[in-house]
């Protein structure tokens, strides 16, 4: 059964600040996460992001997300350039 995607307000704000081509790449990546929430290249994160995962978009952009397998929800928490995303 596919996961339901939810996006935090912070992630929505982050997306609005990205170039259009990166926004499209992020949307495509999130659609792929619905089918496979832990693809090759996804990495579990450490403190203070323990329990979150991240994927790379075009080498310098990141999507940080959580998966609640019990509720079948994929929550996109943050999206942005690697130099800013972890702050």
Domains and CATH numbers, the chain: 4-85 (3.30.2310.20)
Torsion of CA 28, 31, 36, 38, to 10 degrees: 60
Task: Work out whether the CA dihedral 65, 20, 36, 3 comes out positive or negative.
Answer: positive
What's the Cα-to-Cα distance from 39 to each of 1, 17, 26, 45, rounded to whole Å?
A: 17, 26, 15, 15
As a whole number, mean pLDDT of residues 60-71 equals 95
Predicted TM-score (pTM) above 0.85: yes
Decide if pLDDT at 26 tops 80. Answer: yes
């Amino acid at each position: 059964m596919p996961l339901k995607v939810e996006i935090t307000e912070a992630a929505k704000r982050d997306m609005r600040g990205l170039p259009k081509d990166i926004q499209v790449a992020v949307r495509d990546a999130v659609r792929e996460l619905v089918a496979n929430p832990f693809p090759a290249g996804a990495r579990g994160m450490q403190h203070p992001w323990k329990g979150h995962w991240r994927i790379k978009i075009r080498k310098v952009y990141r999507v940080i997300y959580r998966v609640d397998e019990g509720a079948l929800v994929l929550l996109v928490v943050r999206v942005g350039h690697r130099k800013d995303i972890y702050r």
